[in-house]
A and B are shown apart, each in its own frame.
Chain A
């Protein structure tokens, strides 16, 4: 390949994300046109932009986690159950089932430091005006640190795995 294996997956992630953003924007427009009184409207364009940044950063963290889990196939025979498990954990800790801010204080404080919260619950609250710019900046700092850590982990796992790899017939 003329480029690294990871770049191929990065490009796929980019393609998938652009498609999802386009579909989400279309659905939002249809919903707003059909029932403006019942549709979630951002408190400001700035809040929408902040929410979008956090969603994209969180999505990239997810991508890195799933790439790393897939790379565990160098050692494990089957990894699909790890992928499903990761979705459960990310979904729950992000607030896909119950908003993190509505959870008991102990849960809220613990989950607030993880990127899933800043990818799901926090963007919604930014759009609703419950969180402000200060929260956004705090979230960006936190997610950036986790993104860097996850990328380092991804590189480390990939290199270790590649060192173990023996191609068919070799």
Chain B
């Protein structure tokens, strides 16, 4: 009953941790955070299980999707290999990125793509589900509707491609060590880079999709996603200054690959390297705020 009362009061925590806190005479923020994390991981575990069950029914589709992404990676790799080959091995740079550095950059793009395909595939259906009023099942406590909705379609084929992407990244990093990257630095920089990629992908995806709340049935989320994400697949140095600043600070697609690759390769000044995650955090807060406002506009299929 106490948990039910919490939900009715509008509390986000109805899992019982509030009751535990009250019993102990205090509310411990870290305990709440740990409880939320445990709950999120339990939900994600079920999504992963369902993802494997679903894909076991579409095995040809699994192979096709793995091949599809491998085609994307191959086209990407060949494009840059040919471009650098045109300039003569070891002489050409693109926006100040050498051939070896560009391979690391591509690895970050592949990891970003793999994470997106693995966890966030449901975003392609958001506009239609919003239009059809199909979000009712995700407006439950104590969960975040955004987490419950967007993470529901775990993709085993995306995970396979993520493994390929990580493999390429490791191959690329082996090519720049120890000349450009100190292995000791890589031990903290690589996990940090992957964390930034994951964070950026989640909140950029959310940003693209919140537009659907105000422009219902416009498919604008897909359009913006394709337009803006493509910018992130190239180093920001190749764009004019104003556009590069927009891509860093307004719609920070720089977090997808440019910042992580630059961080790992030691191309950033210390102040920027430390400060940029704050930009990404601020962007995330704005997007979450917009998502909450957007959800108030949502109309269920039941009226």
Contacts and interface: CB of A to CB of B under 8 A. Distances in A.
Contacts of A98: 78-79, 82-83
B68 A84 contact: yes
B60 to A, nearest CB: 6
B302 interface: no
B58 A102 contact: no
A78 B101 CA distance: 38
Given A88-B71, A88-B72, A102-B86, A81 B79 contact: no
A102 B79 CA distance: 11
Contacts of A78: 58, 61, 64
A90 B182 CA distance: 41
B67 interface: yes
A2 interface: no
A85 interface: yes
Contact of A81 (B61, B78, B82): B61
Contacts of B64: 78-79, 81-82, 85
A55 B85 CA distance: 29
A104 B82 CA distance: 7
Interface string A42-72: 0000000000000000000000000000000
Interface range on chain A: under 10, 10 to 19, 20 to 34, or 35 or more?
A: 10 to 19
A76 B61 contact: yes
A92 interface: yes
A41 interface: no
Interface residues of B, number: 17
Nearest to A83: B68
Interface string B41-73: 000000000000000001011001101100110
Contacts, number: 43
Interface in A88-109: 88-89, 91-92, 97-98, 102-104, 107
Contact of B75 (A81, A91, A102): A91
Contacts of B65: 81
A26 B295 CA distance: 41
B58 A77 contact: yes
Nearest to B82: A98
Nearest to B78: A92
B71 A85 contact: yes
Nearest to B57: A77
Interface string A106-143: 01000000000000000000000000000000000000
Interface string B74-109: 110011001101100000000000000000000000
Given A92-B78, A97-B75, A104-B82, A85 B67 contact: yes
Contacts of B58: 77-78
Interface in B121-143: none
B71 A103 contact: no
B62 to A, nearest CB: 9
A108 to B, nearest CB: 10
B155 to A, nearest CB: 11
B75 A88 contact: yes
A2 B139 CA distance: 48
B75 A103 contact: no
A121 to B, nearest CB: 13
Contact of B71 (A76, A77, A89): A89
30 contacts: A76-B60, A76-B61, A77-B58, A77-B61, A78-B58, A78-B61, A79-B64, A81-B64, A81-B67, A81-B68, A82-B64, A82-B68, A85-B64, A85-B67, A88-B68, A88-B71, A88-B75, A91-B75, A92-B74, A92-B75, A92-B78, A92-B79, A97-B79, A98-B78, A98-B79, A98-B83, A102-B82, A102-B86, A104-B85, A107-B82
Given A77-B58, A81-B65, A98-B82, 19 more contacts: A78-B61, A78-B64, A79-B64, A81-B61, A82-B64, A82-B68, A85-B64, A85-B67, A85-B68, A85-B71, A91-B75, A92-B74, A92-B75, A92-B79, A98-B78, A98-B79, A102-B82, A102-B86, A104-B85
Interface of A: 76-79, 81-82, 84-85, 88-89, 91-92, 97-98, 102-104, 107
